Amino acid sequence: MKFALFGNTYQAKKSVHAERLFRLLRQHDAQLCICREFYRFLAQDMRLEEIPPEAELFDDDRFQADMVISLGGDGTFLKAASRVAGKGIPILGINTGRLGFLADISPEEMEETFDEIYAGRYRTEERSALQLRCDDARLTREPYALNEIAVLKRDSSSMISIRATVGGALLTTYQADGLIVATPTGSTAYSLSVGGPIIAPDSKTIALTPVAPHSLNMRPIVICDDREITLDVESRSHSFLVAIDGRSESCRETTRLIISKAPHTVKVVKRIGHSFFDTLRNKMMWGADVR
C-alpha cells in the first residue's frame, strides 16, 4: 500500500510517535509520501533519523495514495481533509493531540490498526462536507469544510446582522456575534461549544447555530443537507470574518455567501467495532453521571 502522511508541526515532544509509525510502515514494506511542511519539521527541527530516505515529498494536494495518515489532533485531520478534497482517498487519524474526535486511533493502537488494515479488517465512514461559493477568491481557493463554515464579527465591537435564507425561503435575520453552519461531523466541534445539537454523522443534515444571539429565543436549527443556504451580512465595521474549518479570512460587507453540501464526501477510516456513540461516551463523557 501507498500512504500519504500529514502531521502536526507544533508538537515537538510527540515526534516519537512519528518514529514508531515509520518503523511500522517499514515492517509492512509500505510506500510513503510525506507533506513537505511536515517533512521539514521532522528533518530540520526535530532532526529525526528514522524518516525513510525513499519517501516522496509533496506540496498542497499534489499526491496520490491508497490511504492518507493524519498524525496529530483533529486540526491536523481537518487540514488533511482539505487537501484530499475530491480524491476519494480514505483518511486514518492517529491522535497525538487532546480530544481526538476525528483522529481517534491512539498511538498505542497503531500496531494493531495497521495489521488490521493490511488484513482488510477495517471500514470507512463517508462524511458529508460543505462548499462555500462567493466572489472572494481568497475563500474559494479552499472552499470545502468537513466541520463548519462560520461567519463571525471581526472585532470586539457590536454584533453583526446575518440574513439567512434556506432553499430561497427566508429563515431569519440573526443579530449575534456570528453564525455557525455545521455538518454532522462538525456538530461536536465549534457548534457544540455554543449550544448546538449533537448530530449522528450519517444523518444527512446541516445545523445552523448562532453565536451569542441577541434574542434568547434564537435557537439552533437542523435542516436537510440538500438545501442551499444564502447569508447576507451587515456590520458597523463593514467587514466580517469567514472561517472554513478554522481557516479565517476577512470579508467585505457586500460579499454574499452561498453554502451547500459539497459534491464529494470525506472517507474516514475506522476500526471495526468502534462507533460514534463509543466516542461520545468515552471522550466526551456523554451521559455520564459524575455525582
pLDDT tens across 51-107, in order? 999 999 999 999 999 999 999 999 999 999 999 988 999 999 999 877 778 888 999
pLDDT at 22: 95
Task: Estimate the share of the chain in helix, then strand, then coil, as percent rounded to the nearest 5.
Answer: 25, 35, 35
pLDDT at 130: 98
pTM for the whole structure:
0.92
pLDDT at 198: 95
Query: What does the alpha-carbon distance between residue 251 and residue 221 come to, in Å, rounded to a whole number?
Result: 25
Check pLDDT > 80 for residue 112.
Answer: yes
The set of cell numbers assigned to 157 is 465591537
**Tens-digit pLDDT profile for residues 227-275:** 999 999 999 889 999 999 999 999 999 999 999 999 999 999 999 988 8
Would you please indicate which residues are annotated as catalytic (active-site) residues?
74
Q: Where are the domains of the chain?
A: 2-120, 129-263
- Which CATH number among 3.30.420.310, 3.40.50.10330, 1.10.132.20, 3.40.50.2000 corresponds to the domain 2-120? 3.40.50.10330
Burial 207-220, CB ≥16 within 10 A → b, else e: bbbbbebeeeebeb
pLDDT at 36: 95
Check pLDDT > 90 for residue 46.
Answer: no
- Strands 257-271 and 122-133 turn out to be antiparallel
Stretch 141-145: mean pLDDT: 93
Domains 2-120 and 129-263 share a fold: no
Check pLDDT > 90 for residue 222.
Answer: yes
Check pLDDT > 90 for residue 149.
Answer: yes
pLDDT at 7: 93
Give the residue, 16 or 37, on which the prediction is more confident.
37
Q: pLDDT category, 216, cuts 50, 70, 90?
A: confident
The set of cell numbers assigned to 52 is 525513510
Stretch 144-170: mean pLDDT: 93
| Topology at the third CATH level for domain 129-263 | Tumour Suppressor Smad4 (2.60.200)
H or E element in which residue 83 lies: helix 74-84
Check pLDDT > 90 for residue 49.
Answer: no
Give 154's Cβ-side CA count (13 Å radius).
Answer: 14
Sheet of 221-224, strand order: 221-224, 205-211, 178-182, 148-152, 239-244, 247-252
Is-contact 250 281, C-beta < 8 A?
no
Is-contact 105 40, C-beta < 8 A?
no
Check pLDDT > 90 for residue 283.
Answer: no
pLDDT at 173: 97
Query: What does the alpha-carbon distance between residue 84 and residue 266 come to, in Å, rounded to a whole number?
Result: 8
The SS3 call for residue 120 is coil
Stretch 3-15: mean pLDDT: 84
